[in-house]
């Protein structure tokens, strides 16, 4: 069975981050179309891709992924509306006033949300807002708009597309830490104020040798706020050389994360970051010596990790579609 079909037995989405260029490879295309039930554009919706030149927006890559998802009956996850990274130079070096930056951000959020309204089912509205000590990151947006930029972005997106599920997406918040507490406090505060927030996405870019996080406790803490939770960016990278023992350890880590999500009824989905090692965001020898982080190898053959994920999904008790879908419906 496909990973998407196995996950569907639990009412769970199983997605991948895709690039439009990857769709030109028949091997990539076949896996992307069959194995996954949701698509996250890896880069195509980021500001420096959408508007590299001011007032000139480039939609073709994101549109191609949206059409691909629709053609194959997949959900489309928008990523991200607001981030302090991958911004165009004209924006970061433009010496804009706070008022001008607020207007630029409002235009970006509403333009992107409006274009994909009805196609995107969930948005990572604000990406990586919290520092390691639990405070809000001192970003361009916080400096210009103040800490309330997060509430503003959520409200803007909801006004344009009230049907979309709105998430905060964060890394390094997988266990008990000041960062996790800061993210929890932020989410609770937004909910107390009636700000439209529906879920928290947890990035899980793991290194082989790290102990697999005991994620279920953290996911449940956020679920107790009435929020959906999702593993939004899952990868497990390793140092060379690649050996059977390392591939087995990678497989065990992938399986552990899947099992942690399955143990939490509020966990609505998992997204792996990339289809195969050939298209990975961490190609070996570039930014890092680490590599080979995905479920499929450089020739798009299944790795032990792919089979471990399939076994975890197959072995888990079949909760039917009601448990997770019901949790989601209650939040609408």
Q: Are 46 and 81 in contact (CB under 8 A)?
A: no
Question: Helix (H, G, I), strand (E, B), or coil: what is residue 240?
Answer: coil
Torsion over CA: 80, 15, 326, 173 (sign): negative
Spatial separation of the C-alpha atoms in residues 85 and 229, rounded to whole Å: 23
Question: Helix (H, G, I), strand (E, B), or coil: what is residue 18?
Answer: strand
H/E element, 172: none
Under 8 Å CB-to-CB from 73, ≥6 apart: which residues? 37
Task: Give, in degrees to the nearest 5, the angle at Cα 168 between 162 and 169.
Answer: 130
Phi, psi of 11 (to 5 degrees): 65, 30
Given 51, 75, 170, 233, which residue is catalytic?
233
Q: Are 124 and 232 in contact (CB under 8 A)?
A: yes
Phi, psi of 264 (to 5 degrees): -115, 110
H/E element, 78: strand 75-78
- Per the annotation, the verdict on 233 as an active-site residue is yes
Torsion over CA: 275, 281, 285, 286 (sign): positive
Under 8 Å CB-to-CB from 27, ≥6 apart: which residues? 276, 299, 300
Given 51, 75, 128, 260, which residue is catalytic?
128
Query: 3-state secondary structure string, 113-136?
Result: HHHCCCCEEEEEEEECCECCCCCE
- Per the annotation, the verdict on 128 as an active-site residue is yes
Closest CA to 232 of 270, 260, 263, 205: 270
Q: Which two tokens stand for residue 7?
A: 């996950």
- Burial category of 307 from C-beta neighbours within 10 Å (exposed 0-12, middle 13-18, buried 19 and up): middle
- Which residues does the annotation mark as catalytic? 128, 233
């Amino acid at each position: 069975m496909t990973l998407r079909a196995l996950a569907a037995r639990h009412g769970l989405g199983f997605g991948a981050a895709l690039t439009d260029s990857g769709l030109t490879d028949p091997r990539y295309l076949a896996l992307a179309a069959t194995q996954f039930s949701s698509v996250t554009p890896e880069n195509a919706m980021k500001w420096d891709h959408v508007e590299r030149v001011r007032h000139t927006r480039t939609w073709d890559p994101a549109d191609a992924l949206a059409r691909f998802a629709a053609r194959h009956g997949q959900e489309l996850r928008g990523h991200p509306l607001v981030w302090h990274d991958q911004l165009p130079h004209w924006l970061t070096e433009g010496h804009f006033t706070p008022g001008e930056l607020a207007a630029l951000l409002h235009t970006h959020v509403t333009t992107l949300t409006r274009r994909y309204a009805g196609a995107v089912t969930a948005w990572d509205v604000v990406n990586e807002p919290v520092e390691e000590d639990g405070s809000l990151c001192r970003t361009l947006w916080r400096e210009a708009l103040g800490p309330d930029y997060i509430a503003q972005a959520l409200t803007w997106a909801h006004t344009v597309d009230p049907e979309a599920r709105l998430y905060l997406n964060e890394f390094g918040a997988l266990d008990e830490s000041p960062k996790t507490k800061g993210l929890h406090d932020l989410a609770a505060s937004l909910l107390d104020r009636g700000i439209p927030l529906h879920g928290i996405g947890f990035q899980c870019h793991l290194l082989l040798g790290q102990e697999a996080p005991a994620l279920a406790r953290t996911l449940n803490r956020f679920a107790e706020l009435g929020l959906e939770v999702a593993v939004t960016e899952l990868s497990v990278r390793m140092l060379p050389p690649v050996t059977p023992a390392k591939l087995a350890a990678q497989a065990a880590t992938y399986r552990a994360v899947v099992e942690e999500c399955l143990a939490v009824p509020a966990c609505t989905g998992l997204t792996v970051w990339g289809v195969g090692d050939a298209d990975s965001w961490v190609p070996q020898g570039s930014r890092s010596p680490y590599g080979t982080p995905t479920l499929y190898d450089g020739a798009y053959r299944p790795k032990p990790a792919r089979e471990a994920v399939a076994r975890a999904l197959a072995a888990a008790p079949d909760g039917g579609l009601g448990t997770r879908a019901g949790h989601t419906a209650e939040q609408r």
